[in-house]
């Protein structure tokens, strides 16, 4: 008798699936869903959000299709630390770089790259740097590049004002404050 009890619900499910419209029964093969294409300039959107959170600027690197200029910048000992602490970086190449160059109004042809742009957290272009500003004899020009980037570093946040504002907000909302000590200096 117990076998029959377990068998009846299974038969009801199978018969319901046979009568159900295609694609609604759990026993049928799953339908492949399309993966949405990434949003244009998704890396730029992500970098801008992180820059806003960490009080940084965004450094956009437009490169030829076969180059990795960002890796070369990070290997240069003069530029690597300021890049890490002052900028969120996003590198683009190919058609995406061409479209972004038009959007940011960067002069030059795709073969005249790399080109850099410094953006604030709202996406406003603060500086445009050409290949001559980045490379000398095919190598990263660390000191001259850093001199051009330095005026665009973010002003440090006043920690006392930020803590005072957080204390007021915490008291109003009844929450605790979590303080992070992860500054690069």
9 within a domain of the structure (yes/no): no
Q: Give the CATH number of the domain where residue 140 resides.
A: 3.40.30.10
* pLDDT at 58 > cutoff 90: yes
23 within a domain of the structure (yes/no): no
The model's pLDDT over 62-111, given as tens digits with 9 standing for 90+, comes to 888 777 888 888 888 888 888 888 999 998 888 888 888 888 887 666 66
64 within a domain of the structure (yes/no): yes
pTM, 2 dp: 0.67
92 within a domain of the structure (yes/no): yes
Domain that holds residue 63: 42-152
The count of structural domains within the chain is 1
DSSP labels, the chain: -HHHHHHHHHHHHHHHHHHSPTT--TTSPPPPPPPPPPPTTHHHHHHHHHHHHHT-EEEEEEE-TT--HHHHHHH-TTTHHHHHHHEEEEEEEHHHHHHHHHHHT--S-TTS--EEEEE-TT--EEEEE-HHHHEETTEE-HHHHHHHHGGGSPPPP-HHHHHHHHHHHHHHHT-----------
177 within a domain of the structure (yes/no): no
């Amino acid at each position: 008798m117990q076998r029959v009890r377990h068998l009846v619900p299974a038969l009801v499910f199978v018969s319901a699936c046979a009568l159900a419209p295609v694609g609604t029964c759990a026993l049928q093969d799953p339908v492949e869903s399309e993966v949405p294409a990434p949003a244009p300039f998704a890396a730029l959107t992500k970098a801008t959000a992180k820059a806003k959170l960490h009080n940084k600027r965004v450094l956009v690197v437009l490169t030829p299709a076969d180059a990795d200029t960002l890796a070369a910048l990070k290997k240069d000992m003069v530029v690597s630390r300021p890049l890490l602490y002052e900028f969120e970086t996003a590198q683009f190449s190919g058609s995406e770089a061409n479209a972004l160059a038009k959007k940011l109004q960067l002069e030059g042809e795709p073969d005249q790259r790399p080109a850099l742009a410094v953006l604030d957290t709202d996406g406003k272009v603060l500086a445009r740097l050409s290949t001559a500003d980045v490379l000398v004899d095919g190598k990263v020009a660390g000191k001259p590049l850093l001199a051009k980037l330095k005026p665009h570093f973010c002003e440090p946040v006043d920690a006392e004002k930020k803590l005072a504002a957080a204390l007021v907000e915490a008291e109003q909302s009844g929450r605790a404050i979590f303080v992070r000590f992860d500054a690069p200096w």
